[in-house]
Amino acid sequence: MKNQRLLICGLLGLAAACSDSGGISGTGGRSPGFAVGAIEGFGSVILNGVRFDTGTATITVDGDAATQSDLRIGQVVEVQGDFSTGVATTVAYRSEIKGPVTSATVTNAVLGLGTFVVLGQTVEVDSSTVFDGTTLELVTAGDLLEVSGVRNSDGSVVATYVESESMLSEYKVVGRASSVTATTFTIGALSVDYSSADTSDLVGGVVSEGDRVEVEAAPSGFTAPSSLVADEVETAEGPEGTEGARLELEGFITDFVSPADFRVFGYRVRTTGSTVFENGSALSLANGVKVEVEGRIASDGFLVAESCEIESTGAVRAEWEADAIDVAGSRLTVLGVQWEVRFTTELEDDSSAGVDPLELTDLSVGDTVAVRGFLDGGTPVAGRIEREDADTEAELRGPVTAITPGGPTDFEILGIGILSDGSTLHFDENDIAITRADFLSRLATGVFVEAEWDPFVGTAGAADELSLELDD
């Protein structure tokens, strides 16, 4: 996954534009607004002639006064400021979780993928997660961690920052309250008893279903793996913007109803016919899709997106010889899958031919290529195409699009039939060998699978290896 970016485009000195389309320049005069995202770097920057700085900003860390030196790359922050001058007024960092690890799994050390459970919260890490004082491989049950990240549609936390703590005077978790009663509620798999907690910060002093709250408790109040007696419960809702204020968010879509009604970081968003999409379209939007949206707040409180970048809709790829090339239609077919080639597609020649720059017109049917991309709705889009020297191995990765028991194949990936037999090796998401029957029983439409053949003689032949994959 690509590295998280702070969407303020330089506020706090975070050096990158919010996106290549639709920057943050105002329409003249003061242009107040706010942004939520993960810190990418420090130091003032100049972007399109505008300098953004935090010299006069009020900075807080978990509610306490702080300075910029207390912040770290990867931490998710809320920044308020004047978008026309690029001057931040407030920068607030609130950790998502602080507490002990009850379980830790390294899914793929090479790709940096893993999962922790901390205070009943599933924490997913990937190659873009910043580790401070520890590493993916070193995290184990009992470790104390501070986690910052983005909640996904399934309630898991996709970590952008993980810090090892030698001790914690209090545990905390931030999230949406569900199954609320007069004395308890849940966040993720954590059951919270707030019968004796200080709730004076909440509206009416009560917890309501769906409230985003911060729960604090003494370490002695935690009973592993998933019970906590709270000392304090306070609101953790983000800043509210007035009509016309700019708002920029980077996170996962939740509560998806339609392209005109979904949430990111709890903020309601709608796209319109005027929204400029990058790496996808309105058809790409769904729960769990990571997006970067920019726009202004309307009178009904919605963020009306001026631009929307699709950052992840599931990584798909194919490696083998090009079956067909349609230069006029900007299409490339590999392993029977037709890929859309866009102006944003990167092409690189890693073969002995060494053509630089490589263009679609340079490719020929029979060239060995590795295509990596994403799904725009149901259309595979090539994000990167690499020409390679000839090889005997072929690979196809993507979502299961059909289950075909009793047919000539067992299932389909991106519409391509896949067959397994007694010689096929089958693996689960943790690369643990499983039986063919177990593998097939876990298949469902939308589940990601990687198929490998070596030597490849055609997709009609049984795959040599089949692996269940995480959608990353």
CB distance 307 to 284 below 8 Å: no
Instruction: Give the pLDDT of residue 377.
Output: 63
In this prediction, what percent of the chain has a pLDDT beyond 90?
51
Q: Are 66 and 60 in contact (CB under 8 A)?
A: yes
Burial of 383 (0-12, 13-18, 19+ CB in 10 A): buried
Residue 35 CA to residue 418 CA, distance in Å, equals 45
Question: Higher confidence at residue 114 or residue 472?
Answer: 114
- What pLDDT, on the 0 to 100 scale, is given for residue 470? 67
Q: How many other CB atoms sit within 10 Å of the CB of residue 134?
A: 15
Q: Which two tokens stand for residue 77?
A: 């922050």
User: Which amino acid belongs to residue 440?
Assistant: L
Radius of gyration of the chain (CA): 24
Which of 48-57, 191-200, 361-370 has the lowest average pLDDT? Answer: 48-57
What pLDDT does 229 receive? Answer: 98
The pLDDT of residue 44:
47
Task: Note the pLDDT of residue 416.
Answer: 93
Tokens 């960092």 locate to 93
Which comes out higher in pLDDT, residue 73 or 134? 134
Backbone angles phi, psi at 11, to 5 degrees: -55, 135
Q: Among 3-17, 78-92, 123-137, 400-414, where is mean pLDDT lowest?
A: 3-17
Q: List C-alpha distances in Å: 419 to 406, 450, 458.
A: 11, 12, 11
**Nearest alpha carbon to residue 390 among 328, 455, 345:** 455
Rounded CA separation 214/212 (Å): 7
User: What contacts 154, CB < 8 A, 6 or more positions away?
Assistant: 288
Q: What is the pLDDT of residues 326-373, one digit of tens each?
A: 999 999 999 999 999 987 788 889 999 999 889 999 999 999 999 988
Cis link prior to 239 (omega < 30° from 0)? Answer: no
Query: In the block, which residue shows the tokens 């996170």?
Result: 251
pLDDT at 288: 75
Which of 108-112, 175-179, 366-370, 383-387 bottoms out in mean pLDDT, i.e. has the lowest? 108-112
CA angle at residue 71 from 102 to 92, to 5 degrees?
90
